[in-house]
A and B are shown apart, each in its own frame.
Chain A
Amino acid sequence: KAGVTQTPRYLIKTRGQQVTLSCSPISGHRSVSWYQQTPGQGLQFLFEYFSETQRNKGNFPGRFSGRQFSNSRSEMNVSTLELGDSALYLCASSPGTLMNTEAFFGQGTRLTVV
C-alpha cells in the first residue's frame, strides 16, 4: 500500500510570492491534515479536511488555505509568503477520525522563503 505522498519535496520561494503544496493520502483515507513543523514551535496544526470539507482549523492567518478534492487529494496554499513561513509542511492522512487508528504522515515539503 502506498504511503502518503507529498510534492514537491523542496521549494524555494521569494517573499511576497505564493505557493501550493500537494498531498496524496493513503488509498481509502478520507481525512487529510496539514501541520507546520519548525525548530522553535514543533508541529503546529494548520487544518483538516474530511470528504472535501474543512473540519478543523488551527490558529494560522488567512494567508494559509487549503482544499480537498473528491479523490481525497489535498492542496494547501500560502499567499504573500513571509520569511517566517519557512518550515517543513507535513501532511497526514487517516481513514476518518483518530478514534481507533493513527495518522500516517508524508515526508513533508521543505519550504524556504528568501
Chain B
Amino acid sequence: AQSVSQHNHHVILSEAASLELGCNYSYGGTVNLFWYVQYPGQHLQLLLKYFSGDPLVKGIKGFEAEFIKSKFSFNLRKPSVQWSDTAEYFCAVTISGNTPLVFGKGTRLSVIA
C-alpha cells in the first residue's frame, strides 16, 4: 500500500522567510499528487495538484510544488510567507486517480511577525 511521509511536524517561520515543506510517497507507478491546506477552523482546501506534464506546478496564494519522480518527492515551496499562511498543510497521493487519497500526517506552519 502506498504511504506518504511529511518530514516536518511543525515549522515556525518569520514573515517573509522562504518555505519548503517536504513530501515523499512510496508508490513507484503513476501517481497524482496534491497539497491541501487547512486554515484554523476551516475546511481542507486544495493548494495545488499534479497529474502530468510540467513537474513544476503553481497553485493558489503563491505556492508551488515540484514533482521529482526519481526522488518520489513533491515538495511545497513559497518564496515569502505571510502571517496568513499559518495553517496545517497536507500532502496526498492517489494512484492514477483510481484509489482513495492517502494523506501524510500534515505539517503545521506557524508564521510569526
Q: Contact residues of A with B, CB < 8 Å?
A: 3-4, 33, 35, 41-45, 48, 56, 58, 90, 92, 97-108
Contact = CB atoms under 8 A, between A and B. Distances in A.
A56 B51 contact: no
B54 to A, nearest CB: 15
Main secondary structure of the interface of B (DSSP, over half): loop
Contacts of A108: 43
Interface string B93-113: 010111111111110000000
Given A42-B90, A90-B44, A105-B44, A100 B102 contact: no
Contact of B101 (A4, A103, A107): A103
A44 B34 CA distance: 16
B103 A56 contact: no
B75 interface: no
Interface residues of B, number: 23
Given A100-B51, A106-B43, A108-B43, A33 B100 contact: yes
Interface of B: 32, 34, 36, 42-46, 49, 51, 90, 94, 96-106
Contacts of B32: 98-99
Contacts of A105: 36, 43-45
Contacts of A56: 99-100
Give 10 nearest A-B pairs by CB, closest first: A99-B97, A42-B105, A105-B44, A98-B97, A43-B103, A107-B43, A97-B97, A98-B94, A45-B100, A102-B46
